Chain A
Amino acid sequence: MECQECGKRTATIHLAKIKNGNKEEVHLCEVCAAQKGYFGSQMLEGFISSFLNMDQPLKDTELNSLSDLKCNLCGLTYNELSQAGRLGCSECYKTFGEQIELMLRRIQGSAVHSGKIALRADEKIKIRRKIQTLRKELEKKVKEEAYEEAASLRDEIKELEKKLD
C-alpha cells in the first residue's frame, strides 16, 4: 500500500482515528507520519508495547519507527541526533539519510554539494562513471550480438570494480 501523503513510499504506519463517531483510516510512510506529527517516539513506543505487550526489540520492519534508528558505527540514535543536531560519524549520513536531507534543506537551503571533490572520492566517482558508460556499451554490444567485444567490455568492468573495493 502506498503512503497516502507522498504517494511514493510504502505506507508502514496504519492509524485508525475515531472522529465524531466516524472511523477514519490513515496510511502513511514513516517520513510523512513523522512530519505530520503523528508520533513522537515515546507515543509510538508506548503504543506498540502496550498493544503487543512485549519489551523485546521489534523485528517487524513495518513497526520500526524513526526512534529505533541507530548508527551502526558510532551508536548515535535518532533522538540524540534531533536533540543535539550533530552527527556522530560519516556513516550517520547514511543511517539518518532522510532526516539529514530535511535538516540540510532547512539549515543550508540546499542539499546538493557543488564545490570541490575529495581527491580519493574523485577517483572513485570517475571510476563509477566509467563503469556506467561501459555497462551501457556492453548492453548495446550484447543486443548487436557482438559477443567478443562484449566479453572484453565485461572484463574491463570487472577490473574497474576491483579498484572500487
Chain B
Amino acid sequence: MSDHQEISKWMEGFGPEADIVVSSRIRLARNLEKYPFPHRISAEQAKRVVEIIQNALKHSSDPVLEKLMWVSLEEMSDLDRQVLVERHIISPQFINSGLKNKVILMLKDEKISIMINEEDHLRIQCLFSGLQLENAWELCSHVDDALGKELDIAFTEKYGFLTVCPTNVGTGMRASVMLHLPALSMTGQTGKILSSLSQYGITVRGLYGEGTESQGNMYQVSNQLTLGKSEADIIQSLKGIAQKVVERERAVRTLLYSKNRMKLIDRIWRAYGVLTQARIISSGEAVKLLSDVRLGVDLGVIPKISNGIFNQLLVYIQPAYLQRINNTELDEEERDIKRAELIRNKLSNVYDHTMTAIGNETKDKINKETKEG
C-alpha cells in the first residue's frame, strides 16, 4: 500500500454535527448463490468466488466500480493490514480469520471499501465523516446495485438478503455512527443512556466494532435488527436517536461548563499541556487527553483545532500506523516516543497557524479568556 494517502475521506471532519458525530458508516452483507459461505468453503471454491467477483468488476461499466482498487490481503504485510484496521477500512476479524483468498476493494479516498471472504462473501462499506447516514446509504446501495447487476446474490423474497449470521438477514445492513461523548462519560451517564437504546433496537459497540472497548469516549452506535424494517426506516430511526444523544451531550456540556467551569477549563488545558509537551506517551493516555482537548475546542476554551486533526490523530497514534510512517519496526517504548513527537507536531502546527491566521482582536480575546480561565 505504498500509494496510501494520508487522509481518508471520513477523517476530514466535515458534515453535520461533525464535532460530536465523528463518522457515519453503512455496511451491507451479501453472499453469492450456490457457494458455501466463507466459514464452510473450500480454498478452491473461495478462489472461485474471488474470480466471479473479479469478472463481475471487469464486465461492469459502472463508473464507481471502475475506480475501485483491488488488493489481495495475502500480498500485504502484517503491518499494512493492521494499518487498514486502524483506519477502519477493514475489520480485525477479516485479518485474523484463518481463511485464504481474502481481497479488499477500495476507493482511493477510502469512502468505499469491500471485503471479499470476510464473514460473508461480500461486505460493502461506505464511511463518511459527520452525520451523513443517508449519503453513505446512497453510495453503498449504488455499489450494491452495480454488483447485483453482475452477480447472483443470495436473496429470497421472504427473508431478503441471506447471510451467515441470522442477525444480519434481511437488509444485511449495519448502519452506525461514531459518537464522541466526553460530557456524558464524565457525568457517568453513558452506560445508562446507551443501554436504554436497546429497546429501540439500537446497540453500542467500541471503537473497532463488535467486542471492542470504548476508547477516548468514542462510542459506535448502530442498529441491532436487520429484518422487518426497510433500510430507510432503520437509518431514520438511528439518525433520530443519534441526534437525541448529541443534543443530550451538548446539554450536559453546557451544564458542566456553567457549573464546573474552572475545573473543566483546568482539565482541558492540562490535557493540552501534556499533549503538546510530553516526550513519551502511550496510546491510551493520548486518546484520553485528545478527548479532553477536543471537548475544549468544541467549548471554545481552546482556539479552533479542526475536527479533521482529531480524527486523523485517532488513527495516526495507533501502533501500526506509527511504524508505517516511520518505515521501521518500533518497540513499545520507541512507539511512545514517536507518538509524543507526532502529537506535538500536529497540535503545535495547528496552534501556530490558528494564532497567525486570526486577527489581533480575536487573539486578544483569546488571551484574555485564557487568563480569566
* Chain B 194-217 near chain A by CB (<8 Å), digits 1 or 0: 000000000000000000000000
Report how many A-B pairs have Cβ atoms within 8 Å.
Answer: 119
A113 partner residues in chain B, CB cutoff 8 A? 156-161, 169-171, 227-228
How big is the A interface, by class? 20 to 34
Complex contacts, A89 vs chain B, CB 8 Å: 31, 34-37, 40, 154
B58 at the interface (CB under 8 A from A): no
A115 touches B34 (CB 8 A): no
Is A86 an interface position by the 8 A CB rule? yes
Whether B36 contacts A114 by the Cβ 8 Å rule is no
Chain A residues with CB below 8 A from B31, complex form: 89-90
Q: Does B284 have its Cβ within 8 Å of any Cβ on chain A?
A: no
Residue contact A75 to B40, C-beta cutoff 8 Å? yes
Residue of B nearest to A116 (CB): B231
Q: Which residues of A contact B257 (CB under 8 A)?
A: none
Q: How far is the CA of A113 from the CA of B228 in the complex (A)?
A: 5
Q: Is B280 an interface residue (CB 8 A)?
A: no
How many B residues touch A, CB cutoff 8 Å? 41
Question: What are 26 contact pairs spanning A and B, CB under 8 A?
Answer: A74-B36, A86-B39, A86-B165, A86-B166, A87-B165, A88-B37, A88-B39, A89-B37, A103-B166, A108-B166, A108-B167, A109-B225, A109-B228, A112-B158, A113-B160, A113-B161, A113-B170, A113-B228, A114-B228, A115-B229, A115-B231, A118-B153, A119-B148, A119-B153, A120-B149, A121-B155
Residues of B within 8 A of A (CB): 31, 33-37, 39-40, 141, 144-145, 148-149, 151-167, 169-171, 173, 225-231
14 further A-B contacts with Cβ under 8 Å, apart from A103-B166, A113-B156, A117-B160, are A76-B40, A86-B164, A89-B31, A89-B35, A90-B154, A90-B162, A93-B159, A113-B161, A113-B169, A113-B171, A117-B157, A118-B148, A118-B153, A120-B155
